[in-house]
Amino acid sequence: MNSIYNFTAFLMLILLVSCSKNTDTEETNNSSDVGDEQIPEVYNKIYAASKIYMDGEYVVVEVSGAPDHKSPYYASNHELYEAYSGSNQDYKKNPNSISSFDFVFKIPSNPKEASSKTPTPLGSIGVALNGVSFFNQYAGPNNQPLTNEINSFDQYGGHPTGQKVYHYHLEPYYLTTKQGDDALLGFLLDGFPVYGPVENGERVTNSDLDEYHGHSHQTDDYPDGIYHYHITDADPYINGNGYFGTPGTVTQ
């Protein structure tokens, strides 16, 4: 009888050890899942993100793309509808409206200068803290200047495309009012941050920046220093002759 008990106990011990090994293996495998890596703290400033996580060497930011401020481009029965209240006497509302999307921005978490620079395309080239897309300094479809299109920008500096994507080509006035005109305002797709039009108490001009509309030094968010873009009040406004780094991707 004792031998039977001893054999049963031996079998139970083998099962326990086996289960323990399986659990350890599962935990090891789970540790490599997307999202377990540490997200750079600065990305938590994108307050409109529905989800932020790591995918290898990229930070993935999911947003709706719709602004959190009022606009005449919302439907008149929308809670954020507001008639134009800006100072542009030539303002003319375009026929488009604002919609929400499932934007997924995939941005390098450790951006570096690209050995070969690439031009920014029409469409989303980055994301602001409120989830709105940054666009470059051109109007579609053939890289026309913003001379006429600028008159359709609402009181916060944005407007929607024919596909209902709201975006900023220039200073996002709602954010510079809310965050500060020297604050971090978002990121371009190459991972380099975008700052407001003021630095060290002085208004930034195009002559202070390189051909890509940025420069390198320490900021509050990057105490070790980093290349960063600045918004200015003259063309090209946000970005110059292409991305300084290698861009990630954006889908909607």
Query: How many domains does the chain fold into?
Result: 2
Residues 21 and 65 both lie in one domain: no
Answer yes or no: are the C-beta atoms of 167 and 101 closer than 8 Å. no
Residues 6 and 57 both lie in one domain: no
Residue 167 CA: distances (Å) to CA of 13, 170, 171:
63, 9, 11
For the beta carbon of residue 206, count every other beta carbon within 10 angstroms.
Answer: 16
Residues 64 and 189 both lie in one domain: yes
Residues 20 and 52 both lie in one domain: no
Q: Supply the pLDDT for residue 142.
A: 83
DSSP letter at 52?
A: E
Q: Which residue has the tokens 């919302």?
A: 74
Q: Supply the pLDDT for residue 141.
A: 81
Residues 241 and 161 both lie in one domain: yes
Residues 224 and 152 both lie in one domain: yes
Residues 18 and 63 both lie in one domain: no
Q: Supply the pLDDT for residue 16.
A: 41
Residues 135 and 13 both lie in one domain: no
Residues 24 and 147 both lie in one domain: no
Answer yes or no: are the C-beta atoms of 129 and 47 closer than 8 Å. yes
Question: Do β-strands 103-108 and 249-251 pair in parallel, antiparallel, or remain unpaired?
Answer: antiparallel
Residues 26 and 94 both lie in one domain: no
Q: Residue 107: CB partners within 8 Å, gap ≥ 6?
A: 58, 59, 60, 61, 127, 187, 189, 190, 191, 248
Characterise 154 by phi-psi region: left (phi > 0), alpha (psi -120 to 50), beta (else).
beta
Residues 27 and 46 both lie in one domain: no
CA dihedral 138, 143, 148, 150 (to 10 degrees): -10
Per-residue pLDDT of the chain (252 residues; tens, 9 = 90+): 444 444 444 444 443 434 443 444 333 332 333 444 799 999 999 999 999 999 999 999 999 999 999 999 999 999 999 999 999 999 999 999 999 999 999 999 999 999 999 999 999 999 999 999 999 999 988 889 999 999 999 999 999 999 999 999 999 999 999 999 999 999 999 999 999 999 999 999 999 999 999 999 999 999 999 999 999 999 999 999 999 999 999 999
Q: Supply the pLDDT for residue 35.
A: 44
Answer yes or no: are the C-beta atoms of 134 and 103 closer than 8 Å. no
Domain that holds residue 8: 1-32
* Nearest CA among 96, 93, 94 for reference residue 84: 93
SS3 143: coil
Residues 121 and 151 both lie in one domain: yes
